[in-house]
Chain A
Amino acid sequence: DIQMTQSPSSLSASVGDRVTITCRASQSISRYVNWYQQKPGKAPKLLIYEASSLQSGVPSRFSGSGSGTDFTLTISSLQPEDFATYYCQQSYSSPRATFGQGTKLEIK
Chain B
Amino acid sequence: QVQLVQSGAEVKKPGASVTVSCKASGYTFSDYYMHWVRQAPGQGLEWMGRVNPKSGYTNYAQKFQGRVTMTRDTSISTAYMELTRLRSDDTAVYYCARRFNYGSGTYSFDSWGQGTLVTVSS
Spell out A's residues near B (CB within 8 Å).
31-32, 34, 36, 42-46, 49-50, 55, 87, 89, 91-92, 94-102
Bound Cα distance A32, B95 (Å): 22
Sample of 18 A–B contacts (CB below 8 Å) = A31-B106, A36-B45, A43-B114, A43-B115, A44-B45, A44-B95, A46-B110, A49-B106, A49-B108, A50-B102, A87-B44, A89-B45, A89-B109, A91-B108, A95-B35, A99-B46, A99-B47, A100-B44
Question: Residues of A contacting B108 with CB < 8 Å?
Answer: 34, 46, 49-50, 55, 89, 91
Question: Residues of A contacting B110 with CB < 8 Å?
Answer: 46, 49, 55
Interface string of B2-17 (1 = CB under 8 A from A): 0000000000000000
Spell out B's residues near A (CB within 8 Å).
33, 35, 37, 44-47, 49-50, 59, 61, 95, 97, 102, 104, 106-110, 112-115
Bound Cα distance A44, B114 (Å): 9
Query: Which residue, A42, A55, A97, has most C-beta atoms of chain B within 10 A?
Result: A97
In contact, B59 and A95 (Cβ under 8 angstroms): yes
Query: Given A32, A42, A97, A100, which contacts B109 in the complex, CB threshold below 8 Å?
Result: A97
Q: Which residue of A lies closest to B61 (CB)?
A: A96
In contact, B47 and A96 (Cβ under 8 angstroms): yes
Bound Cα distance A94, B50 (Å): 10
In contact, B107 and A91 (Cβ under 8 angstroms): yes
Question: Residues of A contacting B33 with CB < 8 Å?
Answer: 95
